[in-house]
């Protein structure tokens, strides 16, 4: 590294080492580019360190605890089942360490330079990278901005003390006695339900008329039913107004249909969305990069900004803030830089909630398909009629396929139930390949498996179900 004003030449500068940035860096290196990755925190970004991976670890631990404590229905009982939450957190931290260590090795193995610090644009082809100990100036041929997002902070609920973002909620060292969750979207429901399984008294405040408002109600209703079984109190059409903290608890004031209410708990978790990290010290304006509404950077189908050799991916561009979307865009951007004709195609981005039961969706749902004027064929098959689901004692849920009745093409799939997050991949592949409902029905699925439910749902859509009465 050269310190001072002399510029070091680099093919591709990647700002941000999350699931978008590090994937983009690896793909660019594979395509023969010299690459520098700059990130001011940990490799792997929010996903590996403060989001996807740690949250799923806690969710998994909660499932294990629930199964150990509540399996009497299948003849298994255990006494004095306990949770050592410090040990759970230690186990979770070990997973994060392995994941981030893997990313470190991948970057090293692909001969990618890594700088732990910040990047600041000087102009559209130069940037200064720095930390407390060193600084350097780089001249790049191309740049990929992948700075991600952070939790939105409400003015009436500033983070600190007993007001938590998802980051702090994932790092609690003791299971709270009670928790208020503001926001019934996927993050709030995943974390709220997890702590409820560990024994926390949870209250959810959601502004719309149902939890998980981004999904069809027939799916979210099953999650709402399980929340009720866990004694989670859910207030919909609720608006949080403010709070008062003490050294022991926090009281939230909220309104439901004009009626004021109050609830007190150990902590309040605010999960009302995420804000793109484009308002910091990147000095995007010095590079001439246009930032649109809500802080999102405008890009074309190859992830190029208005400055053609600078690209932007992930949470800082339009679309769902999903790790797998960021990774996908990272590969497209790297390939575009290498001169390949790669473009983004968002027809099949799966959306998954690791609730209980799990929810997953890809492609069009029934409402969306009908709104497009499509003559819709719908097939819905319940988990309860599937032998594997019964043998797992996981009978809640269904698979719903949406097809074009005229052409037979599969347009979308919605799954709520055990392993929905894994089952949705087959449906995404089917849509990408232009498969028909008949293709799915004629594909021999192993028995007994949950995968058979997709085959059965296709048969329902075609009008000749085998294992349920028409």
Q: What confidence tens digit (pLDDT) does each residue in 265-290 have?
A: 999 999 999 999 998 789 999 999 99
CB 355 within 8 A of CB 190: yes
Each residue's pLDDT, cut to its tens digit, for the chain (470 residues) gives 444 556 899 999 999 999 999 999 999 999 999 999 999 989 999 999 999 999 999 999 999 999 999 999 999 999 999 999 999 999 999 999 999 999 999 999 999 999 999 999 999 999 999 999 999 999 999 999 999 999 999 999 999 999 999 999 999 999 999 999 999 999 999 999 999 999 999 999 999 999 999 999 999 999 999 999 999 999 999 999 999 999 999 999 999 988 999 999 999 999 999 999 998 789 999 999 999 988 999 999 999 999 999 999 999 999 999 999 999 999 999 999 999 999 999 989 999 999 999 999 999 999 999 999 999 999 999 999 999 999 999 999 999 999 999 999 999 999 999 999 999 999 999 999 999 999 999 999 999 999 999 999 999 999 999 999 98
The single-letter DSSP state of residue 34 is: -
Distance CA 298, CA 164 (A): 31
CB 212 within 8 A of CB 353: yes
DSSP result, 251-312: EEEEEETTEEEEEEESEEEE-S-EEES-SSSS-GGGGT--B-GGGPBP--TT-B-SSTTEEE
Q: What is the pLDDT of residue 2?
A: 42
Sole residue written with tokens 């304006």: 285
Task: For the chain, give every domain's residue range.
Answer: 7-151+275-346, 163-272, 357-462
Class of the domain covering 7-151+275-346: alpha beta
pLDDT tens across 94-140, in order? 999 999 999 999 999 999 999 999 999 999 999 999 999 999 999 99
Is residue 447 flagged as an active site residue? yes
Please tell us whether the domain made up of 163-272 is placed in CATH 3.50.50.60: yes
pLDDT tens across 77-106, in order? 999 999 999 999 999 999 999 999 999 999
Q: What is the pLDDT of residue 418?
A: 97
Entry pTM: 0.95
Distance between terminal CA atoms of the chain? Answer: 70
Q: Which of 63, 64, 309, 447 is catalytic?
A: 447
Q: What is the pLDDT of residue 66?
A: 94
Decide: helix, strand or coil at residue 57. helix
| Burial class of residue 21, CB neighbours in 10 A (0-12, 13-18, 19+) | buried
Q: What is the pLDDT of residue 6?
A: 63
pLDDT tens across 63-85, in order? 999 999 999 999 999 999 999 99
- Phi and psi (nearest 5°) for 52? -50, -55
Same fold, 7-151+275-346 and 163-272: yes
Provide the CA 245 distance to its chain's centre, in angstroms: 30
Secondary structure of the chain: what % helix, strand, coil (to 5)? 35, 25, 40
**Could you say which architecture CATH assigns to the domain 357-462?**
2-Layer Sandwich (3.30)
Distance CA 363, CA 433 (A): 13
């Amino acid at each position: 590294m050269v310190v001072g004003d002399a510029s070091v030449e680099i093919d591709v500068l990647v700002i941000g080492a999350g699931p978008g940035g590090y994937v983009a860096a690896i793909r660019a290196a594979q395509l023969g580019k010299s690459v520098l990755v700059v990130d001011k925190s940990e490799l792997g970004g929010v996903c590996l360190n403060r989001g996807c991976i740690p949250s799923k670890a806690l969710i998994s631990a909660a499932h294990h605890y629930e199964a150990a404590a509540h399996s009497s229905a299948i003849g298994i009982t255990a006494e004095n089942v306990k949770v050592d939450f410090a040990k759970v957190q230690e186990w979770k931290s070990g997973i994060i360490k392995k994941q981030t260590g893997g990313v470190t090795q991948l970057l090293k193995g692909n001969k990618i330079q890594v700088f732990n610090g910040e990047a600041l644009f000087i102009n559209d082809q130069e940037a200064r990278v720095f930390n407390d100990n060193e600084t350097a100036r780089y001249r790049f041929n191309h740049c990929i901005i992948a700075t991600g997002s952070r939790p939105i902070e409400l003015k009436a609920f500033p983070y600190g003390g007993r007001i938590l973002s998802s980051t702090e909620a994932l790092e609690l060292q003791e299971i709270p006695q009670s928790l208020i969750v503001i926001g019934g979207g996927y993050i709030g429901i995943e974390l709220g339900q997890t702590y409820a399984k560990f024994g926390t008294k949870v209250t959810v405040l959601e502004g719309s008329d149902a939890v998980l408002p981004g999904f069809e109600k027939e799916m979210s209703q099953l999650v709402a039913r399980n929340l009720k079984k866990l004694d989670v109190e859910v207030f919909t059409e609720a608006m949080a107004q403010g709070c008062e903290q003490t050294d022991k608890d926090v009281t939230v004031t909220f309104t439901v249909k004009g009626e004021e209410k109050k609830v007190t708990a150990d902590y309040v978790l605010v999960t009302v969305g995420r804000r793109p990290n484009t308002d910091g010290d990147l000095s995007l304006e010095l590079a001439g990069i246009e930032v649109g509404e809500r802080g999102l950077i405008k890009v074309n189908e190859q992830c190029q900004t208005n400055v053609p050799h600078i690209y932007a991916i992930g949470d800082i561009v339009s679309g769902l803030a999903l790790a797998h979307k960021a990774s996908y865009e990272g590969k497209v951007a790297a390939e575009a830089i290498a001169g390949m004709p790669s473009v983004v195609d968002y027809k099949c981005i799966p959306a998954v909630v690791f609730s209980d039961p799990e929810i997953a969706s890809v492609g069009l749902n029934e409402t969306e398909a009908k709104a497009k004027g499509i003559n819709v064929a719908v097939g819905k098959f319940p988990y309860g009629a599937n032998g594997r689901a019964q043998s797992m004692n996981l009978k809640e849920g269904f698979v719903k396929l949406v097809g074009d009745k005229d052409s037979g093409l599969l347009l979308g799939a919605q799954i709520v139930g055990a392993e929905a997050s894994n089952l949705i991949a087959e449906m995404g592949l089917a849509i990408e390949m232009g498969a028909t409902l008949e293709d799915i029905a004629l594909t021999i699925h192993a028995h007994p498996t949950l995968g058979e439910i997709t085959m059965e749902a296709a048969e329902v859509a075609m009008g000749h179900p085998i294992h349920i009465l028409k």
